[in-house]
Amino acid sequence: MSATMEFSTHYAEAVRDDTPLFEGGGFEPHDVMADQARSADVAADTRRLWHDYLAQFDIASAMLTVTLPGPGPQRHAFLIGFDNIREDAAATRRLMAMMEDVWARIGEQPVHHFQFSGALFGVAPKSADADPNSADADPAAADAAGTDAQLYSGIAIQMKREGKAIRALFFRPNGNAQFSDRDAASLQLIAPLLAESATGVAQLARQSQRSSMLEGMFDRVSLATALLSAEGQPLFLNSAATGLVEQRKWLLRAADGTIVAANPAQAKQLRESIRRAATAAPDAPVEDVFRLDCRDGEWRLAYVISAKSRTGDSMTRCAMVIIMGPGKVDAPTSLLEALGLLPSEQRFLGHFLKSSSLCNAAEGCGLSEETARTYLKRVRAKLGVHRQMELAGLISGLVLPLHAADSPAYLER
């Protein structure tokens, strides 16, 4: 069956020649461009491969959606061709809306031949009184009607394979022959392969997006955190760990790219601990602690811990190295408020923990020594501690190891 389809002008605006183009990639129906920037090389290679393959059928462009089974089904779309809207999210959404319009008209037919007005590709649309669902169009009559009636050939294929709902539209350029029954049979065989390829690209894009989200979360952590292979090769460094390596005081990058201790006397021990942690059996994880020294006398504690993926695959085990920062006594205001400290008590506590004596703390915040003593009693009572060291330890433990949310990740220099 073949029918002429007319689309409203807002679809035509999506694919005019002067609009930048999106060729394809994995994306969700409500956020069609979210994953397009991910795994760009793989997606581009896949699109080129399929574009070259479909050319033998004289197909210039194609649109595909794959709906995966399961709770909260996921739908991904993949476009081949349409080189003039590559980076335009709004245009891509309009094009996808046109695709949904096509399927709404076709219904459940597994194969449907159709023709559509050149308005879709920027050619002037047909007259307003044209029937959008007219019967089979006569190409000769269309040519005689003029430019505004130019027709393009298309074929719609839909099926289910292994629980996946596959829908594909294939287009031939203006003036080319309509799709034959033999073409339709071939495309029915090709569509599942195209769907499998498109799903793979979409899943790779989703994994890349999740990895980027995790990296961003780790960069918020001010503790230097590194994932290393058994050989000490970096698998991941958060921003704080990158800063330490660039500082070259406690850790540095060797000529072969491995991460080693800056102090030669401690390098062998740390390297051996990393190797043991990355190759430890799942039931016998390694947890080592080292003191890392630098030439100016400063030191940091380093924790080396066995890590593995949730699958438990021995090939995905690694060592996690965490470098502790210097002690801090500036707990966030929100935490101190949650513990019941008033603003005046918070100010006093900050001065007290940084001062050498109660007298100095009182002077720093403009209080008499007697008033300062009263503040100290109230703070200790509210926090349930009795000695200054206990108080300092408690406040140090309240300091969240996070960078400020509204500022770039801090690199120690």
CA 322 – CA 244 distance, rounded (Å): 11
Unique residue bearing structure tokens 């006569």: 138
Of 64-73, 157-166, 237-246, 370-379, the poorest mean pLDDT is in 64-73
Predicted pLDDT at 279? 92
pLDDT at 66 over 80: yes
Which whole number is the average pLDDT over 201-223? 82
> What would the two tokens of residue 313 be?
């695959």
pLDDT digits (tens, 9 = 90+) for 9-21: 334 333 333 332 2
Rounded to two decimals, what is the model's pTM?
Answer: 0.54
Tell me what percent of the residues of the chain surpass a pLDDT of 70: 74
Which of 70-74, 176-180, 202-206 has the highest mean predicted lDDT (pLDDT)? 176-180
Average predicted confidence (pLDDT) for the chain: 76
Query: How many residues in the chain?
Result: 413
Strands 111-117 and 2-5: parallel
Top pLDDT among 309 and 213 is at 213
CA 411 – CA 413 distance, rounded (Å): 6
pLDDT at 31 over 60: no
CA 290 – CA 304 distance, rounded (Å): 8
Which whole number is the average pLDDT over 250-267? 93
pLDDT digits (tens, 9 = 90+) for 70-86: 776 678 888 888 777 76
pLDDT digits (tens, 9 = 90+) for 99-149: 888 888 888 899 998 887 655 544 333 333 334 344 343 333 333 334 444
pLDDT band at residue 205 under the 50/70/90 scheme: confident
pLDDT digits (tens, 9 = 90+) for 262-291: 999 999 999 999 999 999 988 888 999 988
Which whole number is the average pLDDT over 340-369? 88
Predicted pLDDT at 328? 64
pLDDT at 5 over 80: no
Q: Name all domains of the chain by residue range, CATH numbers in brackets.
A: 2-212 (3.30.450), 221-323 (3.30.450.20), 333-398 (1.10.10)
Predicted pLDDT at 256? 94
CA 226 – CA 251 distance, rounded (Å): 11
CA 130 to the chain's CA centroid = 45
Unique residue bearing structure tokens 């793979």: 200
The helix/strand count (H/E) of the chain reads as 12, 14
Tell me what percent of the residues of the chain surpass a pLDDT of 90: 28
pLDDT digits (tens, 9 = 90+) for 206-216: 777 888 888 88
CA 372 – CA 345 distance, rounded (Å): 9
φ/ψ (deg, to 5) at 145 = -75, -15
pLDDT band at residue 236 under the 50/70/90 scheme: very high
Predicted pLDDT at 13? 38
pLDDT band at residue 320 under the 50/70/90 scheme: very high
CA 256 – CA 304 distance, rounded (Å): 21
Which whole number is the average pLDDT over 66-71? 83
pLDDT at 30 over 70: no
Top pLDDT among 412 and 281 is at 281
User: Residue 122 CB: number of other CB atoms within 10 A?
Assistant: 15
> What would the two tokens of residue 192 be?
């599942």
Predicted pLDDT at 20? 29
pLDDT at 156 over 90: yes
Which whole number is the average pLDDT over 174-200? 87
**Each residue of 23-40: b (16+ CB within 10 Å) or e?**
bbbbbeeeebbbbbebbe
